Chains A and B, each alone.
Chain A
Amino acid sequence: DTEVTQTPKHLVMGMTNKKSLKCEQHMGHRAMYWYKQKAKKPPELMFVYSYEKLSINESVPSRFSPECPNSSLLNLHLHALQPEDSALYLCASSQEGGGAFGYTFGSGTRLTVV
Chain B
Amino acid sequence: EDQVTQSPEALRLQEGESSSLNCSYTVSGLRGLFWYRQDPGKGPEFLFTLYSAGEEKEKERLKATLTKKESFLHITAPKPEDSATYLCATRYNTDKLIFGTGTRLQVFP
Q: Which residues of A contact B (CB under 8 A)?
A: 4, 31, 33, 41-45, 48, 50, 55-56, 88, 90, 92, 94, 97-108, 110
Contacts and interface: CB of A to CB of B under 8 A. Distances in A.
B36 interface: yes
Given A90-B43, A107-B43, A50 B99 contact: no
Interface of B: 31-32, 34, 36, 41-46, 48-49, 87, 89, 91, 94-102
A44 B87 CA distance: 12
Nearest to A58: B96
Contacts of B31: 97-98
A103 B46 contact: yes
A20 B74 CA distance: 40
A104 B45 CA distance: 7
Contacts of A101: 46, 49
B32 A97 contact: yes
A41 to B, nearest CB: 7
B101 A99 contact: no
B36 A102 contact: yes
A103 B90 CA distance: 11
B5 to A, nearest CB: 11
Contacts of B43: 4, 90, 92, 105-108
A41 B87 CA distance: 10
Nearest to B48: A102
A110 to B, nearest CB: 7
A63 B23 CA distance: 34
B37 to A, nearest CB: 11
A108 B39 CA distance: 12
Contacts of B45: 105
